[in-house]
Amino acid sequence: MKQSDIEKVLNILDLTSSKYDGEALTAVRKANEILEANGMRWGQFFISVRDLGPAGPNGSQGADVRYQRSRRGQMSRSEIGDIFNVIDQYCHLLSQNQAKWVDRMTTAWEASDSLSKRQEEIITNIRDELRDKAQRGGGL
Q: Using pLDDT thresholds of 50, 70 and 90, give the confidence band for residue 43.
A: confident
- Predicted local distance difference test score (pLDDT) of residue 33: 92
What is this structure's pTM? 0.48
Tell me the per-residue pLDDT of 1-11, one tens digit each, with 9 for 90 and over.
777 788 888 88
Q: Are 63 and 49 in contact (CB under 8 A)?
A: yes
What is the domain range of residue 36? 3-71
Torsion, Cα 104 27 23 98, to 10 degrees, reads 50
Top-confidence residue, 12 or 113: 12
Q: Are 139 and 90 in contact (CB under 8 A)?
A: yes
Asked whether residue 83 falls in the same domain as residue 127, the answer is yes
Q: Please count the structural domains in the chain.
A: 2
Top-confidence residue, 20 or 71: 20
Among residues 71, 93, 119, the one where a domain terminates is: 71
| Mean local confidence (pLDDT), 14-34 | 86
Instruction: List beta partners, residue 72.
Output: 116
Asked whether residue 55 falls in the same domain as residue 99, the answer is no
Asked whether residue 41 falls in the same domain as residue 93, the answer is no
Least confident of 38-42, 66-70, 124-128: 66-70
Q: Is the dihedral of CA 87, 88, 92, 95 positive or negative?
A: positive
Top-confidence residue, 62 or 92: 92
Among residues 53, 71, 89, the one where a domain terminates is: 71
pLDDT of residue 14 exceeding 90: no
